[in-house]
Amino acid sequence: MSAFQDFGPLSERRRAERQQKRRKRLMIAGASVSVVLIVAAVGAAAVLYNKPKQDSDSSKPSKSHGGSSSSSASANAKDYHANSAIQALCEATDHQSACESSLKKYIKPNSQPKELFRAAVTAVVDEVDKAFERTDSIKTDDPSVKAAIDDCRELHGYAVDDLNNTLGAINAHNLNQLQKQVHDLKIWLSAVAAYQQTCNDGFPEGELRTKMQTTMDSAKNLTSNALVIVGEVSSLISALNIAGVGAHRGLLEEEGEEPATSSFHEDGIPSWVSEQDRRTLLSRAANGLTPNVTVAKDGSGNFTTISDALKNMPKKYDGRYVIYVKEGTYQEQVLVDKNMINVTMYGDGSRKTIVTGSKNYVDGVKTFQTATFAVVGDGFLAVAMGFQNTAGAAKHQAVALRVSSDRSIFLNCRMEAYQDTLYAHAHRQFYRGCVILGTVDFIFGDAAAVFQNCILTVRRPLDNQQNIVLAQGRAIPYETSGFVVHNCRIVPDADLAPATAAIRSYLGRPWKEFSHTAIIESDIDGFIDPDGYMPWSGDFGLKTLTYTEYGNKGAGAGTSKRVNWPGFKVITKEAAKTYTPADFLQAGEWIPKTNTPVRMGLYG
């Protein structure tokens, strides 16, 4: 298990609100029950839950409401402290009543202090189970609804896994250790929120979808509460300086990567080597890859399809399982399932080794299932491969690549489609040196994803459409999700370039209420509308989204005419640092181990 500092990509406004709430809570706690209550709020004072008996009669029940016996006073004091701990912990949540009732349901008088945090997650487990299981009770002959129910069953399994990860981490660590795990806990809980939302989004618009949203609301609220509560471990331990633990100690040093020179690319390959050869060299040499199996369409490898190579993976394998996919176009729908952990897959170049498909929404396939290539198993690494959905603009939602894999990396890859090209669904994701092409919302989802040194190419949509690069889907403000575009180029495709005056193109729009993006140190071409961003529908999300820009250049980088929404800001250099891989993904613990080139900090 990795140790991460506590970081949540909240806006400055929300940070200030949270800090104010914490200060208020600490002041109230100090005045009412002194430091005992504060310590209870972070689960650091077991005495509140294991208070010794005052005398031999202390276990007897009180005989009257107004009794003054020592046993009654002792019991009341005990109840008061336990309730106060819960109240203090729930005060910062958005759903305080639900928080208090759910914690009280699982907390017992003899519970260990850490039980407060376990209880918050256990409440989510129970409520998520109830919400997803209700989909099984739906009786229907509608193929569209049946497909949505099937997706929900699959997503429920993913949610259970992440909740088990969260509970496992809480069980395995004491409070001081747990504060180093906060980033992991919040990533897993954020993914649970994404799964809930994805389940609901799969149902057709109408009464059934509205009912499903109502069914999911309770689980969503408890997930929101749990995200706040696990975040309180670091902030309150830091405030009290318990055991000398600090909340924001830097666990990683900035990488100190040197800028590229005129003689060499920053990955160390000479600049005179062609771009295609450089990608091939990276795929084979830079990562020191030795394949366990080879896929080749011509029969020269171990398998002729990627799916067969995955199907024949060992059930248990120590280290990385490496699959080399030779040059060729592979027409298949591939799934790297949740049991396929630490898979590395590399090809002969993103325009030579191509996985292609054409499933799409217009033909009756749910967006979630249109993906040509889907990755769920954690630790996935793809190098020098291409992923396509060739359905075309007229077929609307048609995903080339869907990624739910935690700590996944895509290096020198190409994702090509029109609407909804890349579904960055959940967890931590890093894209380096990739080319991503599309039209409407072509990078969407609720992952914590950083795109570094990538080319985001906007294609020509249907004549009645507008282009949007980013449609980030954070539905709860405390999630650690968001899209970061770092040192990238945002350019028009050759087909779009002549029509940029007639077809508007935008950097993003709020798919969900708390949509979160940052575009930093990137080159934005002049075809991007000066507004920068467009609404989703009416004023939905415009007051709650978080859209930031810093240090961009190019004809489309000017911010003087950007939207005047409360959540859009041009941020400072210090604020921009929180969006770099080191802070946003806590990347120092996992990306360098794969030999993937990465800039941990800012370039300038």
Active site residues: 441
Distance separating alpha carbons of residues 578 and 432, to the nearest angstrom: 18
Decide if 360 contacts 389 (C-beta within 8 A).
yes
Decide if 435 contacts 457 (C-beta within 8 A).
yes
Neighbours of 202 (CB within 10 A): 23
What's the per-residue H, E or C state across 387-405? EEECCCHHHCCCCCEEECC
* 208 φ, ψ (degrees, to nearest 5): -65, -40
Beta partners for 411? Answer: 383, 432
Decide if 472 contacts 429 (C-beta within 8 A).
no
> By three-state DSSP, how is residue 550 classified?
strand
Contacts by 313-316 with C-beta closer than 8 Å and gap 24+?
A: 313/340, 313/343, 315/339
* DSSP for 362-384, written as a single string: TTT--GGG--SEEE-STT-EEES
Beta partners for 408? Answer: 429
Neighbours of 337 (CB within 10 A): 14
Side-chain-side CA neighbours of 515 within 13 Å: the count stands at 28
Alpha-carbon torsion, ordered 267, 269, 272, 276, to 10 deg: -80
**Do the strands 455-458 and 467-472 form a parallel or antiparallel pair, or are they unpaired?**
unpaired
> By three-state DSSP, how is residue 500 classified?
coil
Neighbours of 205 (CB within 10 A): 7
CA 552 and chain centroid, separation: 24
Please provide the size of the chain in residues. 604
